[in-house]
Amino acid sequence: MVRPHTGSGPVQVNSGALGGTGMIVGSVTVGSGTGNPATFFAGPESNRPGKLTLQRGLTFASDGLYQVVIDSLKSRSSTVSAKNVKIDENAHLQMIDPRSQTMPPGTTLTLIDNTGDSAISGTFKKLPDGVNITVGLNTFQVSYEGGDGNDLTLTVVP
């Protein structure tokens, strides 16, 4: 799924997947809250990192999943840029690192670049602010106030 063509209105992903690179003009809601899983990813394919820009908001409902690919060999990850981000406490974040290389401590990856003025509303299930998680060979500290103060970032810790 490369370069989604969604028009200018809001996009509702009730099940299945939405992903790609490029830009989506309307707001995006991932999941309907009814239990049907819906997946969102930023990249030319679901197993390669890339960047997807939304000109409006991004909402993850309780049955929404953000799938992130980390390329530890190149110290980069999937990134979505959106204006104002809302995350239901039951929404999930899945991270994979197929290359499984060690990155230098202090390396920061931006998973969500929140271009709105307010902070990200909510956190992903089992991924609170400040927690350390291991993906591949790297341990990261999670921050929902990273980047310019309102982004979701992962920073490699020793």
Please list the pLDDT of the chain residue by residue as tens digits (158 residues).
444 455 678 999 999 999 999 999 999 999 999 988 999 999 988 889 999 999 999 999 999 999 999 999 999 999 999 999 999 999 999 999 999 899 999 999 999 999 999 999 999 999 999 999 999 999 999 999 999 999 999 999 99
Supply the pLDDT for residue 6: 57
Tell me how far apart the alpha carbons of residues 11 and 13 are, in angstroms, rounded to a whole number.
Answer: 7
pLDDT at 3: 47
Distances in Å between the alpha carbon of 20 and those of 12, 35, 80, 131?
15, 24, 10, 29
E strands, 5-150, where?
11-13, 16-20, 22-24, 28-30, 38-42, 51-54, 58-60, 64-71, 76-77, 79-82, 85-87, 92-96, 108-114, 132-135, 138-146
In this predicted structure, what is the pLDDT of residue 47?
Answer: 87
Q: What is the pLDDT of residue 35?
A: 85
